[in-house]
Amino acid sequence: MKVFDRAAIADVLKQGIAALELNLSEAQVEKLLDYLALLNKWNSVYNLTSVRDPVQMVTLHVLDSLAAVPAFAGAQNVLDVGAGGGLPGMVLAISRPDMKVAMIDTVHKKTAFLNQVKAELELANVTVYTKQVQQLEVKTRFDVITSRAFADLSDFVNWSGHLLQEGGQFIALKGTAPEDERERLPAPWKVQKLQPLAVPGLDAERHLVFIQAESV
């Protein structure tokens, strides 16, 4: 486990938040740092991410997820599919305490970590599920379903489409914006918008893919 230099990590995080022009309170920044500390600690045993350096985790994971936060401006009830170590789900939950964020993963050690973060950071707006998304049933459907590097877009919408409320949308966080994946989307799903993201400190392609059902 790499040494967690909280002051150095806080500097990188705060600079990134300023560059993204996000209005986060000091308490929210501290919670993001607490989350990073837990991710670093658990990663040595649970292998939650291949990134081992906590400073790199800030850029590659937290700022990468924070860059997507404005896209969720109107969302009230979000599901993060294949949440893994909580990206973007935990970052969304900390950044938007007014928004409900559910996270689902099939791997028990990952959801155990997510539940630990929820408890330690006292995130009342978080729900965690351990199962395949195809088998999930909920009383209230989600207005946004998201994922980060989870699966092919067709699989993503096929597996979780039953959980999206009418008029809701998928927001997929992708590196490149694969044209073949977008073209293979099954009816009635269609890419409504493709938005490039600029992540502070990251020289790599990042895109948001917005998918909705085409009205008949």
When computed from its CA atoms, the radius of gyration of the chain, rounded to whole angstroms, is: 16
Torsion of CA 48, 145, 181, 195, to 10 degrees: -100
Task: Specify the pairing of strand 207-213 against strand 164-174.
Answer: antiparallel
133 a known binding residue? yes
87 a known binding residue? yes
Task: Specify the pairing of strand 189-196 against strand 164-174.
Answer: unpaired
| 5 CB neighbour count, 10 Å cutoff | 11
167 a known binding residue? no
32 a known binding residue? no
| Alpha-helix runs per DSSP H in the chain | 6-20, 26-46, 54-57, 64-66, 89-95, 108-120, 153-160, 179-183
- Spell out a b/e string for 199-215, using b for 16 or more CB atoms within 10 Å of the CB, else e: bbebeeebebbbbbbee
Tokens coding 207:
């895109």
15 a known binding residue? no
Binding residues for S-adenosyl-L-methionine, as ranges, are 82, 87, 133-134, 148
Q: Which residues are annotated as a binding site?
A: 82, 87, 133-134, 148
